[in-house]
Amino acid sequence: MKFAFSTLGVPGLPIPEVVALAAANGYRGVELRAHPEEPVHRGIGRRDRAAVADEFKRAGVEILGIAGYARVASAEADEDRVRQELEELLWLARDLGAPFVRVFPGGDDRPSAEADATAARRLATAAEVASDLDVRILLETHDSHRTGRDAARVVGPVGHQRVGVLWDVMHTWLGGEDPVTTHSVLAPHLGYVQVKDIASARDTTPLALGAGVLPLGECLALLDQDSWVCWEYEKRWYPQAEELPKLLAAGRVHLEALAGGHG
């Protein structure tokens, strides 16, 4: 398997330092959080994009995905604004050479059928742009669509190879879905997997991998050997959590052990 980590765990860290962390700790990729408070976001220009891409290329580290914040099932979001945000994220990924763009459902408390239809419509429209740019949009198992079944209700009807799912193992677990069920419904649509660890459903403060309750071994056992697995350590939302850099090496070793040494 191929292992990456998300810059959500090192908020605001300059790109050269992110790349150095990945290379020093044996990670083959990095998921870049695309937010205005980060070095990489939709507003940076061509020169900056080229510099970021070159930094990763020279180190032999891949940019796995762009973690965007478009909410495709939201009733509050204006259609044109969502379309523009999706297209800008796709262009950012294309310019950086990233194969994936992450989006959220964001359906809030809407009836599920309405939220599903809105998300499917928006993703189907964006899929044509994604196809032209050779990028894949991944709907994360999150918020209103926490489980694999929830996400599959959206991407299944879209039926486009450029639209898939990002499996966040914490959210499917919190949704009461076991790994075998999640994988079975997501396998045709799966882009990559986000792993993390927490103490309990009530305490989701990020922990070192293997120190919590999430069924990481069960999840990884279901994946193909060429799958990408990304450690999303949510330091940005939990400032009291341990610093990620000192955990990275042991985290990779733990993931390799769970994957049977196929890292």
225-258 per-position pLDDT tens digit: 999 999 999 999 999 999 999 999 999 999 999 9
Q: Which residues contact 151 (CB under 8 A, 6 or more apart)?
A: 105, 139, 140, 141, 145, 165, 186, 189
Distance CA 139, CA 154 (A): 9
Q: Which residues contact 194 (CB under 8 A, 6 or more apart)?
A: 6, 31, 140, 166, 167, 168, 169, 170, 230, 231, 232
Question: What residues does each domain of the chain span?
Answer: 2-258
CA 229 to chain centre: 9
89-121 per-position pLDDT tens digit: 999 999 999 999 999 999 988 999 999 999 999
Q: How many CB atoms lie within 10 A of CB 70?
A: 26
Percent of the chain residues topping a pLDDT of 70: 99
| pTM, entire model | 0.97
Distance CA 33, CA 88 (A): 14
Fold classification of 2-258 (topology level)? TIM Barrel (3.20.20)
